[in-house]
Amino acid sequence: MPTIRRLACSLLLCGLIAAPLRAATFNLETASIADIQAAVDAGALTYEKLVTLCLARVAAYDKQGPAINTVITLNPKAIETARALDAEFKAKGRRTPLHGIPVLVKDNFDTYDLPTSGGTFLLAESVPYADAPMIKQLRDAGIIILAKTNLDEFAHGGVGYSSRGGQTRNPHDPRRHPAGSSGGTGAGLAAWFAPLGLGTDTGGSIRGPSSANGVVGLKPTNGLTSRTGIVPCTLSFDTGGPMARTVADVALSLGFMTGVDPRDPLTRTSAGLFYTDYTPFLKKDALKGVRLGVIRDYSDTDPEVLRVFNEALAELRSLGAILVDDLHYPAVALNNRANVMEPMRVAEVKQNYADYLSTLRPGFPKSVGELGEQGMKLTEANGKFFPHPSVFTRFKRFADGPPTSGIAYTSAKEHGMLAVRGAVLGLLEANQVAALVYPTRSRQPELINPETPNIVDRVSTPSLTSIANVTQFPDVIVPAGLTKEKMPVTISFFGPAFSEPKLLGYAYAYEQATHHRVAPSTTPALPGETFTY
């Protein structure tokens, strides 16, 4: 017997007896970017097949079935690009871990080969001269733009409605909105149209849709990613960032979006502070011994959200976090929208839009005043969707607004922003906490109002998210559970500037211990999405 064992071992070492292989299962519903690349490495999946699976889901569920309506423009060359990346992979290997990964891009990021409309009929045919830097960096890494996704008109709003795309619906309950303004990206990720997405955030526009659709999102520190080539909202508060179905995928993709952009002076603040790889900070024990402050402002808005949040706090404690409960923001932070954001927006939008519109090809409006005038001239629906009137009446007002040299603006920018930032840092310091945790949205997504195109004042949910924009601090969102109505609730990990490594670590530890992300029942699996290899 010993002789037989020795012979078997010798044959095995020589490769004459194949070692048994462990079977793996690929499931599009749960597949992370790492899972996708493992299946490609094993020869069980190609990037062309992956894109084909994603496009099949778009065909089945975006305009048909639950008709969640996330896509403004489908990339006609997505499969062609996937084939080219398959050939490149076979010949040269993988460029980066993002090689061949389909991405949903909010339709306010400039793309040289697809229109960038900002969600408005006025820019429906606008094809920019060049990619936004964030898009170029991702394309250089090997991603595939699957589609440009719907957003609120010019990213002004929070219900996912635009004159370019109409109303996006929440795949967890198509009667409800997906939040905004990155609602198309959030809903598309929840419905598994792609593993990765891009959103922008001025007051909560990455975080609201991440929460409402039950996916992961990151509003980065302002200056960590470039704002160049993004249709502006209010540049002092704007930032772009990743959205995905897992914390690991958000962390992985973030490293390909960072860097100093000479055309965006705010990115200089990130010099020496950004990373090109955030995945080493993802540790399952990252919450052990960490002091977190629990924000209770607006906690009585929705009993179901509060219940899920309290259960999440118990889970954080079980993972070793030390919670300092019942914290509240000072009034200067809570009142930031009226006292800081509004004076700055009224003065800044005029110049922000003039700068962006000047980069477009001939034939498009060149000022916020022109946008307002042309939008208000439309008295009937443009195609299927009527433009939301409040955007254009606002633009007319902004055209006659005060200059950025005025006292109201300079006071808000130079003193108001610092006051809010100081209030948050003071709260962290006084309670000796590393970060703050709160329910990202204080209530569940509301039912879609059929009168949305005619409502001047849109849904207003009590929100803490704008504090991150005024302070310019990062905020990471992760699923925390479901309400009795089966709607997602998320928690936010909010911390000081450039604390993304720690916040992503906390979110990862929580996600890996709880696995609260749930697939929508309205967009079930299709044939071929699960296979063993």
How high is the pLDDT of residue 377? 81
Tell me if the bond preceding 162 is cis, omega within 30° of 0.
Answer: no
CA 270 – CA 470 distance, rounded (Å) = 17
59 close to 146: Cβ distance less than 8 angstroms: no
User: Listing from the earlier edge strand, what are the strands of the sheet with 291-295?
Assistant: 71-74, 144-149, 102-106, 196-201, 239-244, 216-219, 475-482, 488-494, 435-439, 291-295, 322-327
How high is the pLDDT of residue 12? 35
Q: Which amino acid is at 290?
A: V
CA 220 – CA 241 distance, rounded (Å) = 6
- In the block, tokens 């526009």 appear at 205
Catalytic one of 117, 126, 182, 205: 205
- Terminal C-alpha separation, the chain: 34
Where would I find the H helices in 460-499? Answer: 466-471
How high is the pLDDT of residue 452? 75
Catalytic one of 106, 148, 219, 502: 106
CB-based burial label for 377 (10 Å; 0-12, 13-18, 19+): exposed
Strand intervals (E) in 95-214: 102-106, 144-149, 161-162, 166-167, 196-201
CA 503 – CA 220 distance, rounded (Å) = 11
Residues 6+ apart with CB under 8 A from 375: 120, 122, 387, 391, 392, 395
DSSP string, 445-503: PPBPPTTGGG-SS------STHHHHHHT--EEEEEEEE-TTS-EEEEEEE-STT-HHHH
CA 83 – CA 134 distance, rounded (Å) = 23
How high is the pLDDT of residue 21? 62
Q: Is 181 a catalytic residue?
A: yes
> Which pLDDT tens digits describe the chain residue by residue (533 residues)?
344 434 444 433 344 344 456 899 999 999 999 999 999 999 999 999 999 999 999 999 999 999 999 999 999 999 999 999 999 999 999 999 999 999 999 999 999 999 999 999 999 999 999 999 999 999 999 999 999 999 999 999 899 999 999 999 999 999 999 999 999 999 999 999 999 999 999 999 999 999 999 999 999 999 999 999 999 999 999 999 999 999 999 999 999 999 999 999 999 999 999 999 999 999 999 999 999 999 999 999 999 999 999 999 999 999 999 999 999 999 999 999 999 999 999 999 999 999 999 999 999 999 999 999 998 887 666 666 877 667 888 898 889 889 999 999 999 999 999 999 999 999 999 999 999 999 999 999 999 988 876 664 454 567 899 999 999 999 999 999 999 999 999 999 999 999 999 999 999 999 999 999 999 999 999 999 999 99
Catalytic one of 181, 182, 210, 226: 181
Assigned token pair, 209: 């849709």
How high is the pLDDT of residue 3? 44
Where would I find the H helices in 107-179? Answer: 133-141
How high is the pLDDT of residue 302? 97
How high is the pLDDT of residue 14? 44
How high is the pLDDT of residue 4? 42
Assigned token pair, 127: 């094809």
Alpha-carbon dihedral of residues 236, 471, 446, 31, nearest 10 degrees? 90
How much is the pTM? 0.94
259 close to 248: Cβ distance less than 8 angstroms: no
Signed CA dihedral, 498, 502, 505, 506: sign only: negative
Q: Is 106 a catalytic residue?
A: yes
Which CATH superfamily is 26-519 part of? Amidase signature (AS) domain (3.90.1300.10)
